[in-house]
Copies of this chain bind each other. A is one copy, B any other.
């Protein structure tokens, strides 16, 4: 009985969002399925709300219409005055902020789970905006324990203090579930079933959390973003090569100084020139060519996560 009771709010207002990018098909078809039959998202202490986040881009089977919706949830976009010339995704971000936020306020949803696919061979990857978010680390650990054969990694994409811009940042807490590889515009049954099962596990975790269950302390490896690496390019900005076969499909595996990262069209190899081992993530993701990202470098960090003590009666009753 050494852990002190802390104020821990149950997560009652939960949303599961798919189609934030209109060509990432698992989340799109899960959201549509749940909008027809929402029972699957019900738990004793809450019912998660399914949301199809970008209906226009989903109808067009494109990542976005005018700009990347998942980079649009910043306060300047959300709080600026609407005009008829606003990009579609700016308008849609404001609508979602009204539905699930407003961002940064007490009225905001408690938790958003945002579903994504990538063409990169990431396997199952949770993306979280800060390792300070103890809930997300417990959630990741829970999924690892539930699925011992399935690598499930946590990728921390931005530094504490940096302004958040993605959909789940509208809620008080949130996480992105990313699964790959799946081509844009393709729905693979294996990934669809796995994502569906993982969402069920995540909702089960929230239910246990809401019931007040204690979660013990543990240690976990996480991957922290160190920045992007662009493709090799010609003077005109065209590709001069692409990801090296030795790096392709090797997300989250160690990349050592001197190992090849690109194969030029001339046949020459480009080697990684850093000083230390890094862990590439989002290797050759289709949507990142325009962002000048061939892959992200990350560092692997061992993190000690304190226990989540049992929820006390007073906090269970908190509004």
Contact = CB atoms under 8 A, between A and B. Distances in A.
Interface of A: 29, 32-33, 36, 61-62, 119, 181-190, 192-193, 234, 238-239, 241-245, 248, 263, 265, 284-287, 289-290
A242 B189 contact: yes
Copies of this chain in the oligomer: 2
B29 A189 contact: no
B238 A187 contact: no
9 contacts: A33-B265, A183-B183, A186-B284, A187-B242, A188-B242, A188-B243, A189-B242, A189-B243, A192-B242
Pairs of residues from A and B, 6 with the lowest C-beta to C-beta distance, nearest first: A185-B286, A183-B183, A119-B183, A187-B242, A189-B263, A186-B286
Given A119-B183, A189-B244, A190-B248, 19 more contacts: A29-B239, A29-B242, A29-B265, A181-B183, A183-B183, A183-B184, A183-B186, A184-B184, A184-B185, A185-B286, A186-B284, A187-B239, A187-B242, A188-B284, A189-B241, A189-B243, A189-B263, A192-B242, A193-B263
A170 B244 CA distance: 36
Contacts of A186: 119, 183, 284-286
Q: Is the interface of A mostly helix, strand, loop or mixed?
A: loop
A23 B284 CA distance: 14
B183 A32 contact: no
Contact of A189 (B181, B234, B238, B248): B248
Nearest to A186: B286
A286 B186 CA distance: 5
A119 B193 CA distance: 20
Nearest to A118: B183
Contacts of A241: 189
Contacts of A36: 234
Given A183-B183, A183-B286, A290-B61, A248 B33 contact: no
A202 to B, nearest CB: 19
Contact of A289 (B61, B62, B243): B61
B189 A245 contact: yes
Contacts of A189: 241-245, 248, 263
A290 B23 CA distance: 13
A39 to B, nearest CB: 13
Residue from A29, A185, A263, A289 with most neighbouring chain B CB atoms (10 Å): A185
Contacts of A239: 29, 187
Nearest to A263: B189
A169 B86 CA distance: 44
Contacts of A185: 119, 184, 286-287, 289
A243 B244 CA distance: 31
A136 to B, nearest CB: 28
Contacts of A192: 242, 265
